[in-house]
Structure formats: structure tokens, C-alpha cells
Structure 1
Amino acid sequence: MEVIHINNFNDPHDPLPTDAIDTLEKIQGKFPGARRAHAKGVFYEAIFTPNGNAIPYTTAAHLQNEPVPATVRFSNSPPNPTAADFLSPFKGMSVQFHLPNGTASHLVSTTIPMFITKDPQTFIDMLKILTADKTGLDKVDLGIGILNIIKKYPERKNILLALKEQFKQPPISYARLHYYPIHAFYFVNKEGKRQAIKYEWQPAQEKNPLKNSEAKITSPDYLSEELHERVLNGSVLFNLVIRLGEEGDATDDSTDPWPDDRQQIVVGRLTLSKIRYPNEAILFDPTLVGVGIELTDDPVLHFRHNAYAVSFNKRIKNE
């Protein structure tokens, strides 16, 4: 299966992405050849089977009636590729849907349903406040760092305190988490009509979720080991859900989760089939969405395109 990846496409005139990557490197240092965030991960081959429910809203090839192959990566959030799974409360799930025309549509998700700020400059400033002059996550007092951020950005207090709470209990399994791409996108149908949507990956087979306090931490890699056993048993499935935006719902603010009463539609199911060990540097870019899907004006979404490019270019140069 061919995996789409991209080289050298960052904007050299935008200093913010490089500043962001440089700041991230101060958290735990540099790890040549590794991603600057979500460095530790595991890849799987998968099949995505759409159910046709998205057809009235989009012409996207992977959301029609035919199954498409996919590449999936589950990851921890730190930039250290050897960090123990239980030290990272925030997890990632990135998907490339491989389309019939040889391109791919990307969907990059995390276990946090919203971002901490709606503009890139504030995000970088928060990182600098958190790390101050210290290098190494073990030297950073997250409690004090978050309180210092709240002092400067009191409007973000609730989300920052919620993030802090997630450090108290490690997750049970990659397969039992909900994942959110956080940004709004536009679906475009064959008549050219646009519909604002937000995505969510929901575990398909789980009726009675366990509490994170029941996690069985058997090794530093317990999440990938547990996931591999599940995949061997054919029991890792996720439903892709969209929520339909309504008039007044923000499409350019990734800190706005939208009201809970928005209509939800299951548009397909992802089934993991086997583990994959890629021999090339694979990039997941949330702005590569394909025909039938359009980007909103969310500045954080567009910033991620260039920031991921800076990280990717360093990675392929083994920097």
C-alpha cells in the first residue's frame, strides 16, 4: 500500500511555526529523527467502510459507498519517543484515507475535544510560560506553569484546569478512547452546498466503558502492547461521527466545542487489520482533506500545516 507523504512545503516567510517547534524542543530536548510532538506511536493498516450517510453533504471519495484502505497511527503526546505510555495523558489518533485517485485525505485527532487557544501566537506564548528557562519535562512544574498561564490568560482557566486533571489517571487502552480533530471543516455536496461539521472517532464496540483507574500498567509500552493484542483478536473498531453545525456556530475558533445538542450522524466504520512498520517518514497533515471537504478560516488549523512541515523537514534530515 502506498502511503502519501510530503516534503519541504513549509512557508519560509512565516516565523511562527519555527518558533513553535523551537519552543517544543525546550520541553524535553531534541530527539533526532523524531516528531516534535507525539513522537512515540504505532502504525496499523485498516479499512474504512462508509455507510452512505455523508453523501447528502459531501462528494469526498472515502465517504460514499465503497470501502477504502487507511493508515492509522496512535501516539503519545510528548516529543520524547521513549517516554512511558502512562506519563502521557493526551493521546493521538491520525488517519490517512487512501483514495482511488492515489491521493489521501488526512484526519488528525486527539483525546482533547478543543484547543487551548484560538490563535498560534498565544499558544507559543503559553508554551514559553510553561517551560520558562527550564529544559526537560522532569524539571517543569506543570502545576505552577499552568497557574502562571491562567494568570496571564484567565479566560482559558477552565480548559487548562481540565487538562491538568487528565494527568491524574492514565488511559486504559488506545481502543477505548474518543478522539477529536478539534477543528471545524466544510463538507461540500454535488450541488456545491457547504455544511459546517465537526468530527469524532468513537469506539464502536464499547457499551460499558471502564474507568481509567482500572488501567493495567504492565510495562512502559502497555498501551501499544494491549492494542496489538486487540488487533490480533479483530476487536478494534471506531465509528466516524460528524456533528452538523448550525447558524452561529464558530468555524474559526478551535476552542469552541459547539453545543452538545447538535445533530450527530455516523458516517462510517474504521477496522484495524494489522500492525505496520513503515520504512519511510509518514506525515499526517490536518489540512490535506481532498475534494468534497474544505478548510475553514481557523488560524490554528492553517498554522498546523506549516508547523508540521518544519517538524517533518527536521525529521527527514535526522535533526
Structure 2
Amino acid sequence: MPLPSDQQIVKTSQELVETLQGAFGKHAGMRPAHAKGLLFTGTFTPTETASALSIAPHFTSPNTPLLVRFSNSTGIPQIPDNDPNADPRGIAIRFDLGSRKHTDIIAHSTPFFPTRTGTEFLEFFRAIGASGPDVPSPKPVEVFLGSHPKALAFVQAPKPAPSSFARQEYFSVSAFKLIDAKGNTTFVRYRVVPKLGVETLSAEVLKEKSQIFLLDEIVERVKKGPVLFSLQAQVAAEGDITDDATEHWPEERQVVVLGEVKVEGTIEAEENAKMQKQVIFDPIPRVQGVEPSDDPLLEVRAAVYLISGKERRAA
């Protein structure tokens, strides 16, 4: 997972890491975003549809071992699970392809993303940081949202807390290209859909929950039996925008099932913490049969993850 060669991408990504740490505090050995989370093991079983759309090994093998991380938003390691700021929740899925090779899918619990580029995302967080309670209106974040309607839509979109990480749907906001055996390309956006169905909590019910209710619940649930998700792909039609994470494709677009994600193993707490310090997820697939779109967020996100991951390992 190399850093991109573009110096501006690296500079923006480094500044994003520093800005996130400025907003949430710099916590040694922890992620600057989605700091609070847990790792689990699992298995992926693809469908025939997946192998028809892509020659990627995890879509053509009978099954593939998984490492799955559920997480809360923000870079605050101890953010309460019942804090509204902990949404959107996240999921990261690593497909272990053997011989020290892997590919990842990273998604969160809203199909929205506030900005098209990493530079705009940096501007957004700087505006938030400059908009303290004593700053007169219009605050910098108000000015930013007033001139960026897609960011305003992200802020205003409902983000209800789930009753369980197992009852939450997750979305990859960027598009990717699936490549089949003949070299044909299909643009998709991933969805990770719970087999148990989506279940959210009202604000009143959420307040009564414990500060670690989601983490406790998912550990106990997995110990009792596998937690199942359907890995799905919304397929772009001709003319759909594929290089802008703020642009939604119409809901009537075809959605296909790529396989089953089975979360079935817990990892002891001490080992979990050690692994989370070491594992660096990658938004760019870097595997034959799946390619990134031209979405400019992907290179910046990958660089942010790598820069912060190296800091985390060195802590």
C-alpha cells in the first residue's frame, strides 16, 4: 500500500490527519477517525453473479477468510455508543487472499458523503474546528455549508443509531469497477445489508442505553452464532456519475447480490487491541478484477489511512 506519487494528495492527506487529531485529540495508537471499534473473523462466500462480473479471487473462490471491523464515528476512542455523534457507524471488511495479499471494502451507515474531494473535506473540518460556541454567526462552518449544498445534505441526513451492528446497513460511497473474464467493466457501489434487517433506535431509547451497548451486544451475538450480511452491489447505468461520492444513483438502479459475509469469530480483547494497532485498511482494492473509479476521494482516503496507520504502529 504505497503513498501516491502526487505531492498535493500526500500534503492534503497529512493535513487531514492533523486536522482530525486536532478536532478529536491525538490518541497514541488509535485511528484519527472511527477510533472506537472491534475486530472479528469471518468467511465470505460469493454468488455466481459475483464470479460472472469479476475475476477477483474473492469473487471466484468457493470462500475467503475475512477480518471485519465494526466502529463508531469520530476519532474519540471512548466515545459512548449512545452518543449521537458516534453515527455514522462503520464497517471494514478485509478479504484474506493468502500469501500476505488482501483486498478491503470500507463502508459506513449512510449513503451520503459531504464533499467530492479531499481538499473540500479538509476545508469542511477546518471550518468545523473554527466554529466554536463563542464564534459569532455566521460561523465558518455555516458559511461552508451555505456554499456546499451536498455537505449540507450530509449534515441534515438522518443518522439514527442501530440497535446492533448486526442490524445496520452500510454503504461504500465511492464507485468501483468490476472486471470480468472478457475485460468488460461494470461500475458498482457496494452495500452491506444485514440478513436480520435494519433496526434503529429512537433518540429517547438511545439515551437509556449503556456507553458500550453496541460493542457488548455484537460480541455476545457472535459468540452465540454467526452474524450474516448480504454483500450487494448497486449497478450504474449509462450516464450515471461514477467519480463523485456526493452524487447518488437512482434507487431504481439494479442491485445484485455478490455473496454472503458471515461474521463468526470473536478475538480476545488484548489481541484485538494489538491487531487494531497494526491493521491498515485500504479503500483502493489493489486486486485483479476490481479497480477504483476516478473518484478523487479514493487516493486521499488511502493516503490518510496509510499515514495514520504508520503513526499508529509507531506509537
1:74–1:93 CA contact under 8 A, matched in 2: yes
Query: Which residue identity is paired with 1:305?
Result: A
Tell me the equivalent position of 2:65: 69
**TM-score (normalizing by structure 1):** 0.87
Q: Name the SS for the 1:99 alignment partner.
A: strand
Question: Unpaired segments of 5 or more residues in structure 1?
Answer: 1-5
Say whether 1:125 aligns with 2:112. no
1:244–1:264 CA contact under 8 A, matched in 2: yes
Deviation, structure 1 residue 221: 0.9
Deviation, structure 1 residue 52: 1.6
1:130–1:149 CA contact under 8 A, matched in 2: no
Q: Measured at CA, do residues 36 and 156 of structure 1 come closer, stay the same or move farther in structure 2, by a change above 3 Å?
A: closer
Tell me the equivalent position of 1:116: 114
| 1:170-249 alignment, distance < 5 Å | 170-206=161-197, 209-213=198-202, 214-215=205-206, 217-249=208-240
Q: Measured at CA, do residues 226 and 47 of structure 1 come closer, stay the same or move farther in structure 2, by a change above 3 Å?
A: same
Distance 1:139 1:11 in 2: 41
Tell me the equivalent position of 2:48: 52
Distance 1:20 1:316 in 2: 18
Deviation, structure 1 residue 64: 2.0
Q: Measured at CA, do residues 41 and 202 of structure 1 come closer, stay the same or move farther in structure 2, by a change above 3 Å?
A: same
Q: 1:23 aligns with which of 19, 22, 27?
A: 19
**TM-score (normalizing by structure 2):** 0.88
Q: Name the SS for the 2:82 alignment partner.
A: helix
Q: Name the SS for the 2:91 alignment partner.
A: strand
Superposed CA deviations along residues 149-195 of structure 1, whole A, max 9, x for unmatched, are 32232454322211xx43xx532111111101111000001111111
Deviation, structure 1 residue 118: 0.6
Among all aligned residue pairs of Structure 1 and Structure 2, give the percentage whose two residues are the same amino acid.
28
Question: Unpaired segments of 5 or more residues in structure 2?
Answer: none
Deviation, structure 1 residue 305: 1.2
Q: Name the SS for the 2:279 alignment partner.
A: coil
Query: Which residue identity is paired with 2:312?
Result: R
Superposed CA deviations along residues 51-105 of structure 1, whole A, max 9, x for unmatched, are 2211221101111250111000000111111111122121100010111454111
Say whether 1:292 aligns with 2:281. no
Say whether 1:94 aligns with 2:92. yes
Distance 1:154 1:267 in 2: 33
Query: Which residue identity is paired with 1:89?
Result: D
Say whether 1:157 aligns with 2:152. yes
Query: Which residue identity is paired with 2:291?
Result: E
Tell me the equivalent position of 2:314: 317
Moved more, 32-41 or 9-18: 9-18
Q: Measured at CA, do residues 139 and 109 of structure 1 come closer, stay the same or move farther in structure 2, by a change above 3 Å?
A: farther
| 1:140-155 alignment, distance < 5 Å | 147-154=142-149
- Aligned-residue Cα RMSD (Å) equals 2.4
Deviation, structure 1 residue 140: 10
Q: 1:282 aligns with which of 264, 272, 279?
A: 279
1:172–1:216 CA contact under 8 A, matched in 2: no
Q: Measured at CA, do residues 155 and 91 of structure 1 come closer, stay the same or move farther in structure 2, by a change above 3 Å?
A: closer
Distance 2:80 2:261 in 1: 27
Q: How many residues align?
A: 302
Distance 1:46 1:159 in 2: 31
